[in-house]
Structure 1
Amino acid sequence: MSTTAIKHRLTLDPSISKSATRDTPQPASSLPSAKETKLHPKGASSDNENASLFFVGTATTILEWEGIRLMTDPNFLHAGDHVHLGPGVTGTRRTNPAIDLHELPRIDAVLLSHYHADHFDEKVEESLRRDLPIVTTPHAKTHLHDQKGEDRFTNVYDLDFFENAMLDITTSGTQTGGGKVPAVKVTGMPGKHVPPGLLSMANDLLGAVPPTNGWMIELGYKPSSSASDSDFTSGYRIYISGDTLFIDELQEIPKRYSGQNIDLMLIHLGGTTIPGPSAPLLMVTMDAEQGIKLMSLIQPDVTIPIHYDDYDVFLSPLEDFKKAVSSAGWDDRVVYLDRKDEYKFAVKR
């Protein structure tokens, strides 16, 4: 696989208990019990699941593995709250998150696909602790760090397409069998909110819709904490599409990961339209048809749809995707999570 060199290195120490937010000095010790726990749809469980994905709502998930918690696209607004999505464009939330922002347990790092209010709302931006590591786009780093003065986030790391960051995990516990230590590799994946052509060129000039990333998260191990990055062995790959349309640049993903299994795909759906439901002029996230195309392209072992019904700008309901999945004969390749559900899986050692 050809990728760029590691751009950032983050050392995460989950043994140091820190609240995710500035006003919650004593975080909860754990996430709440899941409403329902889902396993591999083909019944491939071997009772050795050692990782989980908790669905909060919208594109917000919390990944737990080896004592570390990663949160994606934090959005904790409630039903009836409004978000600004661009010049003259607003969205209204229809649902409540599985938990409230102040109820979060310790979070060790955030993966932020792009700087948009339905992925990083104003309350989140105001409340998150300033030293929380955030991996995001160069555009978002400008807003969260470069332009915020004394109130800036101090640990923001930007990744462009196919750039990497290694998250080394420091724990107070013992190493896994064989003396291995856990590590996480994050690689930026292509994404575009606006279709190519004149609209994309205009958006580049106006900056109305922010640039966006997807992610490839690799959970794995190194022989020791001092081992080089080339000694990292991936035990589970999670591709997160981010808020993208089905664009030509996505064709590069299966080429780069040829011969390497992609275990899980989190796909952002909803068919988000702007300026809004009353005038759906432009679709900026995948609908059911494009979602099926992405499944066919990436060929993940399991797909979990997220980002599909939380705002009134989503015009492609989850039911459309379910029908398309059934028509393709792929019901045993998809897991559906409601808010507060979790998916458990096994990371190979």
Structure 2
Amino acid sequence: MDSGETVRITHVGGPTALIEVGGWRLLTDPTFDPAGRRYFFGWGTSSRKLTGPAIAPGELGQIDAVLLSHDHHDDNLDAAGRALLPSAGTVVTTAAGARRLDGQVGATRGLEPWATTRLEGDGRLPIEITATPCRHGPPLSRPIVGDVVGFALRWAGQRDGALWITGDTVLCDGVLEVPRRIDVGTALVHLGGVRFPISGPLRYTLSAEEAVELCQLADPRTIVPIHYEGWKHFREGRAEAEAAFAHAPQLAPRVKWLPIGSPVELAV
């Protein structure tokens, strides 16, 4: 595999993906609990996990770094995922999350939006990681939902731009700023259109239509939907996303649905 031009991604389920590139093995938002349990997110919100991971933590092999969009919601970091963190080389997350995880994991790097860190290692391709803005709910919800970031990964040899993991977000000024500041080649887009009964029509992650609007602006070569299945609080799944992208003929051929549990190589 030419690590400068291709990347291998394994969608484990939910927001969890294994990204292999340039000698690195990176894991996003570790969620490995079995299905069935109900989780409480605070302020009267909760959800039940409907699907377990396609790969068990012990089957992953060594993880060099975890890209953790946020640590305080169990659909992005559950108990089994949290147990994995100490064995990972580095955890890159929000500044607030790094403070909460301090002393629980080996090396933690906390990033505010637009801050950058760098992964370097002998014989490996250096990777620059930029934290990108998210808003995980309606306006003024940050004190309730907490801090969340996405991640833009850049390395030498990328043909079309950064690998961008949006993180859990709605369409807001911060996330719309990303395509204006970063050339995006591949986008891992968190979907789901999350809503909760207690807050009615208010949305906490991208709807399919919002994802289309964001991708029209970012213009990525490849669009990889994730975090759209496996939880009861998701209001939109693959069918809704496929329908929305079908109405954007310039984007529809770029959407790549990864088979859950199987590695796929993508040109980046």
Do the two structures share a fold, i.e. TM-score over 0.5?
Answer: yes
- Superposed CA offset, 1:182-214 (max 9, x none): 1101001010012214xx2xx52xxx3221101
State which of 70, 76, 97 in structure 1 corresponds to 2:32. Answer: 76
Mark the runs of 5 or more structure 2 residues left unpaired by the alignment. Answer: none
Equivalent of residue 304 in structure 1, options 214, 217, 224: 224
Equivalent of residue 108 in structure 1, options 42, 55, 64: 64
Instruction: Tell me how far 1:280 sits from its aligned partner.
Output: 4.1
1:218-237 to 2 correspondence within 5 Å? 218-220=154-156, 234=158, 237=162
Q: Is the 8 A contact 2:85 2:91 kept in 1?
A: no
Distance 1:315 1:268 in 2: 13
Q: Measured at CA, do residues 64 and 121 of structure 1 come closer, stay the same or move farther in structure 2, by a change above 3 Å? A: same
1:275 Cα deviation after fit: 4.8
**Distance in structure 2 (CA, Å) of the matches to 1:100 and 1:169:** 27
The whole-number CA distance in structure 1 between the counterparts of 2:63 and 2:87 is: 13
Q: Which residue of 2 aligns with 1:334?
A: 255
CA distance in 1, matches of 2:167, 2:84: 23
Q: In the alignment, what sits opposite 1:344? A: 265
Q: Distance in 2 between matches of 1:77 and 1:90?
A: 16
CA distance in 2, matches of 1:294, 1:123: 32
State how 1:1-349 maps to structure 2 within 5 Å: 50-115=6-71, 116-129=73-86, 132-145=89-102, 152-171=104-123, 182-197=125-140, 200=141, 203-204=142-143, 208-220=144-156, 234=158, 237-257=162-182, 260=183, 262-275=184-197, 280-329=200-249, 330-347=251-268
* One-letter code aligned to 2:16: T
Q: Kindly, what percent of the aligned residue pairs are identical?
A: 31
Partner amino acid, structure 2, of 1:216: A
* Secondary structure class of the residue paired with 2:26: strand
1:130, 1:303 → 2: CA distance? Answer: 30
Query: Counterpart amino acid of 1:306?
Result: I
Instruction: Name the SS for the 2:167 alignment partner.
Output: coil
State the 1:154 CA deviation: 3.0
1:211–1:309: structure 2 CA closer, same or farther, 3 Å change rule? Answer: same
Distance 2:180 2:206 in 1: 21
Contact persistence 1:88–1:275 (CA under 8 A) = no
Counterparts of 1:303 and 1:50, CA distance in 2: 15
**Residues 162 and 186, structure 2, Cα contact 8 Å, conserved in 1:** yes
For normalisation by structure 2, the TM-score amounts to 0.90
- Supply the AA of the counterpart residue of 2:155: L
- Structure 2 distance, partners of 1:194, 1:292, is 18
Give the letter aligned to residue 119 of structure 2: L
The SS at the match of 1:273 is coil
Residue pair 1:75, 1:119 contacting (<8 A) in 2 also: yes
Ranges in structure 1 where 5+ consecutive residues have no aligned partner: 1-45, 146-150, 172-180, 221-232
1:304 and 1:337 in contact (8 A); partners too: yes
Q: Distance in 2 between matches of 1:305 and 1:88?
A: 28
Computing the radius of gyration from Cα coordinates, the structure with the larger value is 1
Asked if 1 retains the 8 angstrom alpha-carbon contact of 2:64 and 2:88, the reply is: no
Cα displacement (A) at 1:234: 5.0
Contact 1:244 1:285 in 2 (8 A): yes
Q: Distance in 1 between matches of 2:227 and 2:101?
A: 23
Offset from partner CA, 1:15-72 (integer Å, 9 cap, x none): xxxxxxxxxxxxxxxxxxxxxxxxxxxxxxx9x9642011000010001122210000
Q: Distance in 2 between matches of 1:95 and 1:134?
A: 25
Residue 335 to residue 131, structure 1, CA distance change in 2 (3 Å): closer
Q: How far apart, CA to CA, are the structure 2 residues paired with 1:100 and 1:240?
A: 22
Please state how far the C-alpha of 1:132 moved relative to its aligned partner: 3.2
